[in-house]
Amino acid sequence: MHQQDRALGLAAPTLVRTAVEIAKEKPVQPVTLVRPHAAARAARFFVEKFPGRSMYAVKANPSPDLLQILWDAGVTHYDVASLGEVRLVARTLPDATLCFMHPVKAEEAIHQAYFEHGVRVFSLDSMEELEKIVAATSRDGVAAADLTLCVRIRVSSDLSKLSLASKFGVMPDEAKALLFAARQAADALGICFHVGSQAMSPDAYAQAMERVRAAIVEAAVTVDVIDVGGGFPSVYPGMEPVALERYFETIHRAFESLPVSYSAELWAEPGRALCAEYSSIIVRVEKRRGDELYINDGAYGALFDAAHIGWRFPVRLLREPDSNAKDMAFSFYGPTCDDLDHMTGPFLLPADIRAGDYIEVGMLGAYGSAMRTAFNGFGSDETVIVEDEPMASLYAEVEPAVASNVVTL
């Protein structure tokens, strides 16, 4: 965690303001660009428009600088998944409210989170986890009386690009008993779910809310919190979602129709949607072999998702004057000696691209920084603040840098 914190720290502000200007300096190592204004804009959007409470899913990008930006923009609650994330947010934002939303936790982690960091919200999806939480938060045999317990139910990920439907979530035939037991142990009872990452339709949430309705009716319990989890999308080539307001409207309608407490709260856990536009990376082409480009970052760096799940990120050639060549499809090889360090794309770039050129890979604020390693000795900690717009945005009208490969909504 400490290495990661350093890697994500911001460099002192310089006169550099755009990706093109940085490329002109011919950096030898990859350079991470961060756009605080883009993250703040996304946070304000959720704070002002989501019809409930938005808590940032820290796993998407645990940069302390980003956490502070989101806090300053009005995000006060943070979804943490480990004791390491609890400690990180607690020391970065001492007044933040932390919600421990991993359904399977070490008893020691629960104990420390509760007694040392004031965590009162915990998720669970089994009787074993409920017993663990009750035991870890008890003192001298007296159970805690201030817990908010969110039972995670399993829902479909069919309308999302990445499934989260198999690892966590209580099955429908087991939800009744778990909800009833959690109600007895909780000061406030919640139901949570996760429709999967990059949900491409608001219907994902409507369908999940029907599962919630059925669980409440079957268990006949009073529910105080409905947490619709994450899955809110960003925008990438070939993945252009409808406006986020449509998601919010769908969720609000479904929530209003649920048989819940009159004072029940609606929560969400946006991660990607808050930070994807925050960061991009500049890489250098070290070699070209036909339609394959060897670049100096890859599967073990910020481009983990591009390699391992075939995620397509927007790309653009940083060259002045602009190339007049037509775009063609390229794949990338990263800098390590591993054949797995390969990103199939396709990434559309001018056909005359060559070794020594620089490419900006956009929309890497979600998971790109978080997944970095120093495998094979490659990597760079250089981070620069820029003030230009991200390559695509759900929050602002921007002109595409490369019309065929950068999406503007």
Per residue in 353-388, pLDDT tens? 999 999 999 999 999 888 888 888 888 879 999 999
What does DSSP say about strands 197-199 and 160-162: parallel, antiparallel, or unpaired?
Answer: antiparallel
pLDDT of residue 272: 97
Per residue in 26-84, pLDDT tens? 999 999 999 999 999 999 999 999 999 999 999 999 999 999 999 999 999 999 999 99
The structure tokens 């619709």 sit at 228
| Same-fold call for 2-34+277-385 versus 37-275 | no
Per residue in 211-258, pLDDT tens? 999 999 999 999 999 999 999 999 999 999 999 999 999 999 999 999
**Structure-block tokens of residue 206:** 């409507």
Cis peptide before 346 (omega within 30 of 0): yes
**Structure-block tokens of residue 184:** 């007895």
| 3-state SS, residue 338 | coil
Q: Which residues pair with 265 in a beta bridge?
A: 225
How far apart are alpha carbons 25 and 174 in whole angstroms?
Answer: 60
Statement: 37-275 belongs to CATH 3.40.50.11260: no
Per residue in 78-109, pLDDT tens? 999 999 999 999 999 999 999 999 999 999 99
How far apart are alpha carbons 159 and 20 in whole angstroms?
Answer: 37
* pLDDT higher than 50, residue 407: no
Whether the CA torsion 284, 286, 289, 292 is positive or negative: it is negative
How far apart are alpha carbons 396 and 409 in whole angstroms?
Answer: 8
Instruction: Map out the domains of the chain as residue ranges.
Output: 2-34+277-385, 37-275
Q: Are 56 and 70 in contact (CB under 8 A)?
A: yes
The CATH class of 2-34+277-385 is mainly beta
Mean pLDDT in residue range 168-192: 96
Q: Are 233 and 272 in contact (CB under 8 A)?
A: yes
State how far the alpha carbon of 280 is from the alpha carbons of 44, 80, 229, 303, 386, in Å: 21, 24, 25, 10, 10
Q: Are 67 and 34 in contact (CB under 8 A)?
A: no
- pTM, two decimals, is 0.90
Cβ-based neighbours of 254, under 8 Å, separated by 6 or more: 205, 206, 209, 210
